[in-house]
Structures are given as structure tokens and as C-alpha cells.
Amino acid sequence: VYYFRAVVNRVKEGKADSSAIVDVYDQVSELIDANLNTYAQDEKMRVNWENIRNNVELTFEPYATCKDLTAIYEAKFKATPEDIALLQKITKILDKKKCTDTPLFFQATQNLHKLQPDAVSAYMMARLLLKDEKYAEAIPYLKDALELQTDNNKKSTSAYLLASVYLSLKNYTACRSYAQKAMELRPSDGNPLLLIGDAYAASAKDCGDDELSKKAPYWAAVDKYIQAKRLDPSVAEAADKRIGNTSAAFPTQETIFFNGKKVGDTYKVECWINETTTIRAAR
């Protein structure tokens, strides 16, 4: 803390550049994090290092605005845009200080991924692009993240995001494929099933050649929603809302009757869905 404050004072006196504060903050933060891990089970030491961290953060706060951090690092980035150590430092500090909406963060992350691709940089690039609704551009990065990640939960998240992107792009078969991949990686998560149901419901208008077959995807969608909430109680509320909305789109009793069917019959949903379901009428 004293060393950090000494550097801050030198900057205030005009004896050092403001970037020195950020550099020392980065070094001190690593030291603090390491000691917090070391003393995780020692309450007295852990509290001591937490107090040190709080003091450092308080001292750094006036220099930690996104505007200031961008001003400090922009010139360095332009001078050496392929300096991996610099890129790592920029992305780390801007991410920590929640400055991820800045053009500098995007450019630094993009360069870092080109030079040293890993799961973290790939995922970060994808999230930045998704935030701007650049779905097609995010796909290669999400695929990189899925391939490079080793943790199944993180791989599942990447697969789920890919499924969501493909749903937004109305590529329903790819949506289902990646949602199924997400389920394989994290079998207890019901969200991928909700997504498959959403894809079935969204494609209803493009399926079938008569009034009954055009409504059939809604049955398959509700099947997925029911399956999702049975598997994962945490998605029950979202599933129930979808079930209510989608059930309202079921065919009427008259439509079912005039197509030679009855409620409770099994029905093969054609189109790209190819699933067997049960005929139900709108209430």
C-alpha cells in the first residue's frame, strides 16, 4: 500500500507518468490476489489482505475511470498493437474496471485473440459482438471458445450461446444441434430445452401444408418446455409462461376434427422437426 501511494504521490508531483499508477496497481493487485488465495483459510491474514485491497482500490479510484484508463493505454496500444504483454494488461484492467464498452477494449481483445487465441479471448470477443447484435460475426469466436475450453460448464455456455445466435438468425437446425450439445455438456440444465422449444415454435409458420400441420410444431414446442421444467426446476417459471403462450396457438377442436384426427392421437411433426407428439386443442 505504501509503495503504491508513493507512486501516486510521484505522479501528483509530476515526477512520473500517470501510466505508472496503473502498472503498479496491476502488480500490487496480483500480489494481493495471490495472498488472498494463500490465506483463504486463515481468517486473520485474509481479513488483513482484504483491508489492504480495499485501501489500494480506494487510492486507485480517482485514476480508474474508463476515460482515464483509455487515455493512458491508447497511445501505447497504437505504438505497439501486437505486444502481447501490453494487450493482456489492457484487457485485464479494462475488464476489471468494467470498461468493456470502449473501442480500445474491443481492439485489444481482437488483437490478443489473433496473436494468442484461447478460450477466454474467443468468448470475450463473442460477447462483445453479441452486445452489438453482430450475430454472424460472433459465430466463429463462439466456435473457437467451444473448441478451446476444457471446462464442460464453460463449453456448455458457449454451445448454448451458439444455439441462441442461430435461433436469432433463424437457422433452426443449427440451433437445435448446439442446444443438444449444451445439454450433453451440462445435462441438468433445462435452458437448452427451452431454446429448442422456441425454435420449434418460431418455425411453425414455415412448416406444414394445411392448417393442422402448420400448428403441429406448437405441440412439439410445448413438449420441450414440459421436459425442461421436469429436468430443471429453476426454469419452471419461464417454461410455464411459454407453455401458456404457445398452447394458445394450438389448433381448435374443429380443425382437428376436420383433418380426421382427435385429441390424444399421436402425431408425427414433419418439416425439419421430425418428432412424434400428442394432439391437443387450444383451450
Interior angle at CA 225, CA 141 and CA 184, nearest 5 = 45
Give me the chain's average pLDDT, please.
Answer: 93
> Is 159 within 8 Å of 150 (Cβ atoms)?
no
Instruction: Give me the pLDDT at residue 236, please.
Output: 98
If you average pLDDT over residues 76-103, what whole number do you get? 91
Q: What is the reported pLDDT for 93?
A: 85
Task: Inform me whether the pLDDT recorded for 13 exceeds 80.
Answer: yes
Question: What share of residues in the chain are helix, strand, coil (percent, to 5)?
Answer: 75, 5, 25
Confidence label for 58 from pLDDT (cuts 50, 70 and 90): confident
Lowest mean pLDDT among 20-34, 97-111, 187-201: 20-34
DSSP 8-class letter at 188 = T
Residue range 67-78: mean pLDDT, rounded:
88
Which pLDDT belongs to residue 263? 97
pLDDT in the model for residue 76: 87
Instruction: Please state the rounded mean pLDDT for residues 42-68.
Output: 87
pLDDT for position 18: 75
